[in-house]
A and B are shown apart, each in its own frame.
Chain A
Amino acid sequence: MIDQSDGVGAQAVQIVGDSEFLANGLAHQLRVLSEVTSVNLAVRVLCYDNPRTGEVKTVSESLTVQEVGDGCSPNQGFGHNHNFLFGTWPSSPSVILLNPDCLPVHGSIESLVRKFEEDSTIGIVEARQWPFEHPKHRDPVTGDTSWASGFFCLLSGPMMNAIGGFDPSYNMYLEDVDLSWTAWQSGFRVVYEPLAVGRHFTQSLFPRRDLLNVEQEMSLRNFLSIAYKFFGRQGFMRAYAMAEKQVSSEVLADATEGAKNDVIPYMRVANRRRHPMVGFSDVLIFEGLRK
């Protein structure tokens, strides 16, 4: 039975991971969480390859954790899984998303919450990734940024309710960009908070040269899809032309088929109104895909 308290008095935290993570990494992540903040945390965890609901467990005086999953079909992607978790506490003022391979550093939860409370129009607060920061533009004074990575960020509850959460059709990668652009178009700000830091030793920065990196493969497919969703046919053509310079025709054809058949037909209808913060110069994360 899912805890109906909506984490009253506690900051909601959502983690999605697989069975191996639940067996091996979660305990360490929770221990770190309880050490790095004095904020009361209510953590909900979805095991995407074996979703089930368990009892609420107390990890420390200020941290409880509950595995939640009854009614969630096995893995339908990052966006779907986080939407499901958010659906279990829809009246939360905010939720923090935490990747299973990310460990916050001391004071980061407080920094995210503090930034969020500065301005009621803030929809997303993104933490800084350490040791390799995301190479993207943000305003050095306001912190405004075009998109926020979902590895460790705070999402406004009202924003999630207003825009319906993530578009689940991406399955994996770029749904965080979609959420950010939708937030901007819906009147919410997306801001970067460098005082909040997540240790994220992501392997995606160092893809093995002998493997076609899944992240890059899906990112390319979703890059074409998001271009179509927000900028229409012309956007798709522009994205295609950009991709053409970086990948082989075979890989691009595969990604195009995937976008046409597996993503675009299932996407939500986007607001294609122009917005200065919505544009895809910073989302070319498939760079380096094998030619």
Chain B
Amino acid sequence: MKFWVAARDQSSAENFRIRNEHLHDVKIVFTDSLFQILDEIIASGEVACFLHDDVTVPHNFEEKISSFLSEAEVSWPSWGIAGNSGVLSLRLGGNQGSFVRFLSDPHGGPNFGGFDLPVQSVDGNTILLNSPKLKALGLSLPNFRGFQLYDLILSIEVLSLGLSVIASPKLAVYHDSKGSQSLFDDSTKSVGFNRYLYGKVKQSVISTLNGDISPGIFEDVQRGDLDLVRASLENASKGRSPKTLAIVTRSMPGRRAVRKRCIDSIDYLVEMGALSSSLAIRHLIYGTEKFEEAYEINSEYRDFRFIAESVPEGADTRSLLLVAAVQDVDADFFWFVDDDDWIFPSNFDLLGQALLCFPSNAVFAANSQHFHESLESSEYGRNEPASTFEARHLANVSAGYNPVPFCSVIYPKDALDDIDLSIGALTRYEDLALLAEALLRRRHPFFTLDRLIACVSVRRDDRSQTVIEPNRDEWNRNLADLTSVWTASDEFGWGRYLTSSLGSEDDDSSERMRALNRHYLSQRDDAIQQLDEIARSVSWRMTRPLRILKPVIRRLRHSRRS
């Protein structure tokens, strides 16, 4: 395979050859426009790799590329170009932003590893081009010149042809360039470039590795209809193996109204959500006993299973239901939506696409919303929107608290296999235990999406809702057990590592910390009040002379001994 190297001068070209002498077929090109080189590579009709002259590749780079190419036939049948860093359509981890880096450069090192990821655009330091396909589909770049924006424009053109743009760790290199922010900024002011963007994409703000670009508005240009976020996911999903998502509803007797509402919302997703045909959805309902509505659920809705026979007395039924569902159901992903939750189906499509093309062992989370309701109003009654839970705080699980409701998270099957939720006698926090297990001990990669996908009902007058029970003893006992497990070994050490990076968040997590502080301050104030009451009491005042004398006597005794 040929490596096309854009060299600024003879000296840079020579240096490139010396640093990368193990590359066999190198073509050095001196040019004043990288657009021109890319057009030439595509015109060649052969798979080729484009490199900057300040790139140093690893010793086995050619093998790595061969490996990518053979795997891509199966994993990425629609790949158009690939690079080593890019802009994701989901957030990487909780708070690491939407950029993935499989390279080192003067800015820093990689921030992820192990998996290829579909991206909206790649950085131009290293680009592998599927030229046979690009040529066959007639890709040609717009008539621009220069050394900026060619990578973004190539990515846009590839996505607009229905092909995918991939970031792969197999293309990892060292790139000895900080880039020039001022040159990039200047180039984004080009009217021709902005007209191109406006006429090509739907976005009013385009994320790039060098910063956001807003193309402005052009009256005489027809606005483009390419949605980079959607296209990056849809195109990458093409030809990949189908996936199954199991939505599991844990239900209790006497909750007919809210259960129906939950089921209705999932029906809406299945029937009207316009999901990819490659994503099959199975909805199952699990209960702990054979309650009277079981027949109704089975006959009117779908699979209902109760696990009464296998529940030992006093056991935590919520964990058992969860474990039973995972053992029963053959699915790639699990989404637990309890009977008093409901989903927001019209926002699910992007996450549904991500399930098809992101790593199959990844944990996914999106936003959720609390609603205050009353028992009387809890079917489709008046409600009051309350807190919003943003999925980007998911990594805060490593700080020891539950950052998002259970129904915000979608787990891969292997995060749940052989799960042991019998810590102590866990009856609360099984969701937090599961999240900590998946992210902190099993270390599954995780991605988040800033879209509302689930809603949670909080009913002040519903005594069956443990989340609002006023006596927190059971919750505290469970948290003590969990904390004991988490701190007993270094298996959860990654959590401590992650916690150190939380300081970069300037958002609701700090609000959470402030709330915690308020809690401690209020405890402190209570204690001070109690002490004041003691100090004012008659007995305390009567014994005051003894307390004054006590240290004097102690000092006297001490001096006698010495």
Contact = CB atoms under 8 A, between A and B. Distances in A.
Chain B's interface: helix, strand, loop or mixed, by majority? mixed
Contacts of A208: 229
B264 interface: yes
Contact of B204 (A197, A203, A206, A210): A210
A221 to B, nearest CB: 13
B302 to A, nearest CB: 15
Contacts of B217: 250-251, 254
Interface stretch (A80-88, A126-134, A174-182): A126-134
Contacts of B267: 28
A211 B202 contact: yes
A118 interface: no
A199 B380 contact: yes
A132 B342 CA distance: 13
A206 B452 contact: yes
A201 B346 CA distance: 6
B383 A211 contact: no
Interface string B251-279: 00000000000001101100110100000
Given A209-B205, A211-B203, A133 B229 contact: no
Given A101-B272, A101-B346, A202-B346, A250 B216 contact: yes
A211 B271 contact: no
A131 B268 contact: no
A210 B207 contact: yes
Contacts of A199: 264-265, 268, 380
Could you say which of B268, B272, B344 has the most chain A C-beta atoms within 10 Å of its C-beta? B272
B451 A206 contact: yes
B206 A210 contact: yes
B268 A201 contact: yes
A286 B271 CA distance: 30
14 contacts: A25-B271, A25-B272, A27-B271, A28-B268, A28-B272, A29-B272, A101-B346, A105-B379, A105-B380, A128-B382, A130-B383, A131-B342, A131-B383, A199-B380
A20 interface: yes
A257 B268 contact: no
Interface in A252-278: 254, 257
B272 A203 contact: no
A290 B450 CA distance: 17
Interface in A169-194: 194
Nearest to B270: A28
B96 interface: no
B205 to A, nearest CB: 5
Interface string A13-52: 0000000100011011100000000000000000000000
Contact of A254 (B219, B264, B385): B219
Interface in B207-225: 207, 216-217, 219
Nearest to B120: A210
Nearest to B346: A201
Given A209-B205, A211-B203, A194 B345 contact: no
Interface residues of B, number: 33
A29 B272 CA distance: 9
Interface of A: 20, 24-25, 27-29, 101, 103, 105, 128, 130-133, 194, 197, 199, 201-203, 206, 208-212, 250-251, 254, 257, 290
B360 interface: no
B370 to A, nearest CB: 11
For the complex of A and B, the 3 pairs showing the least CB-CB separation, nearest first, are: A28-B271, A212-B204, A201-B346
Interface of B: 202-207, 216-217, 219, 227, 229, 264-265, 267-268, 271-272, 274, 342, 344-347, 371, 379-380, 382-383, 385, 450-452, 455
B380 A197 contact: yes
B63 to A, nearest CB: 38
B105 to A, nearest CB: 26
Contacts of A131: 342, 344, 371, 383, 385, 455
Contacts of A25: 271-272, 274
A105 B381 CA distance: 11
B271 A206 contact: no
A257 B346 contact: no
B5 to A, nearest CB: 34
Given A201-B345, A206-B347, A206-B452, 20 more contacts: A20-B274, A25-B272, A27-B271, A28-B267, A103-B268, A105-B379, A105-B380, A131-B383, A131-B455, A133-B382, A199-B265, A199-B380, A201-B347, A202-B346, A203-B346, A206-B451, A209-B450, A210-B205, A250-B217, A254-B219
A182 to B, nearest CB: 29
Nearest to B451: A206
Contacts of A206: 347, 451-452
Given A101-B346, A194-B382, A290 B205 contact: yes
A146 B553 CA distance: 83
Given A28-B271, A105-B380, A254-B219, A203 B347 contact: yes
Contacts of A132: 385
A24 B206 contact: no
A258 to B, nearest CB: 10
A133 B382 CA distance: 8
